[in-house]
Chain A
């Protein structure tokens, strides 16, 4: 009765928009004549594809932050790990076409005078294995990290701080040349994926469609979780953790479950990001990146899933435009937007739009409508 449906109006609109983009963007690139008003450059296709992977990343953060109150300031780490797993496969795909033309070793290993592939690079020549690692590596790290943190009942700002430490530690580790991940330069100069050249328009369009499908799948998984009774328990944990515990819910198991799923989604986003931008380096682990993800979610609308995705796309589109026109003001702009949204639109752009739509609809129908969970809390406890 009160349980929300898997696909409400907002979800249908969101999925429809993704489907339209998945058809229209490749069409505008491949079918429209260059020079015509409808034509979209290959650069734009990859750029939009990148936005979609960011949207998936934002969904993964919204799942844990918006619904379970876990503010991860290190989610960029899981994104980067998924990206590195895909990058390693793309490096192996280069084969003897590298600058040094070594049949097996990637260029940077030849440069460092290594004579054999380190054991943790084994298997990455197989696409299916790399895909498995894209979810397993971030998932396993999140599981171990979450198991330790949630069992010790690390919550709130302390948890946020250790997630920052996690991503920072990984960044320093990946910067080292002897880690075997290309050090400072990371992994780049990719040639092809599954035999398709990464430079070709058709491949770029394919990657865009794959990103759209991944975003839709991630959205459906999140909706399935948050509309289930488990989703209600997650919200309960967010709002009154002790109450949930004393009702018999093992809070740490619930947090661990959703944190691990979220990290896997972030990994998939990273894996789709890398072939579209053509590089992965330790900069992706930087703590500032992870903080930026949280800003996307806050701007779009925390706890609304579609809002998080919208926020990621809006903020990154603004970033693309602004860093083109006036790069020096970008960070001021980002900070300003964050402050303004927090003050004036506490439920983000989508939350604000929904509330405005509700008000309009109510005025038109001139009838009382019971408050719903999306219109936010109005009364405070008496104490």
Chain B
């Protein structure tokens, strides 16, 4: 297992956590290679969001290893520290800064110094403006750059939030239900956006929508009761009798 950790971007082994006796995550192991995109599916309560909480430092596991880039122990860092290491997270409910313009949302997300006094003195540079233009093109929000976050539609907020993650220049992107509440056209655009940014980044997508997962066309991990029950292509896991049982009930 140690050799496997050495070449991985994200490495979880034997991770467990209980809340008041309820085992939300139970001996979960999962390895992602650099540049890989992975879809994580599972019924409600399977522990998908809790797993992201553990990776991003919001929750500390009771047991197990959580390693980033093969060596950094993520359980020793807080959310802000982990974000600075290069792990970006998109929430289930789209969360952008509503009273800032689209442009400023991206500006605040750009990779850079985050200390109080650095930020107090920070002035916008030409390089920052250029990077913001690039990102606006990528997420297709150039025409709305001056509008407030609050004025965006649901799908546009999702894209802006993905743009904010990219602005951080992260190595790993954790994306929680990007297609929730979107129209079919928006869902297709989102899948295309994720495929476009894959490769440069390691991406974990948690999703319920099977069509969306199929559109991504990547390796799938199925979680149930806090542990991995199947892994492989979408066709492989949909044929697995345990997965069918979990999804259709016994």
Interface residues of A (CB under 8 A from B): 1-3, 225, 228-230, 232-233, 235-236, 239-240, 242-251, 253-254, 257, 370-371, 373, 377-383
Contact = CB atoms under 8 A, between A and B. Distances in A.
6 cross-chain pairs, A with B, having the tightest CB-CB distances, nearest first: A248-B83, A382-B154, A230-B120, A229-B122, A248-B84, A377-B150
B249 interface: no
Contact of B95 (A1, A243, A250, A253): A243
A382 B181 contact: yes
Contacts of A370: 146-147
Interface in B142-182: 146-148, 150-151, 153-154, 157, 164, 168, 181
B108 A2 contact: no
Interface of B: 56, 78-81, 83-84, 88-89, 91, 93-101, 103-104, 107-109, 114-116, 119-124, 129, 146-148, 150-151, 153-154, 157, 164, 168, 181
Given A235-B99, A247-B108, A377-B99, 8 more contacts: A232-B108, A243-B91, A246-B83, A247-B164, A249-B80, A250-B80, A371-B151, A378-B151
A1 B96 contact: no
A235 B148 CA distance: 13
Nearest to B105: A236
Contacts of B88: 246-247
A247 B99 contact: no
A277 B181 CA distance: 60
Given A239-B99, A243-B91, A228 B120 contact: yes
Contacts of A257: 116
A2 B84 CA distance: 25
A3 B83 contact: no
A371 B91 CA distance: 27
B165 to A, nearest CB: 9
Contact of B122 (A228, A240, A245): A228
11 contacts: A2-B104, A229-B108, A229-B119, A229-B124, A240-B97, A245-B80, A246-B91, A377-B150, A378-B150, A381-B154, A381-B157
Contact of A381 (B79, B80, B93, B104): B93
A2 B105 CA distance: 11
A383 B181 CA distance: 8
B96 A243 contact: yes
Contact of A242 (B91, B147, B151): B91
Contacts of A233: 108, 119
Nearest to A240: B95
A232 B107 CA distance: 10
Contacts of A2: 101, 103-104, 146
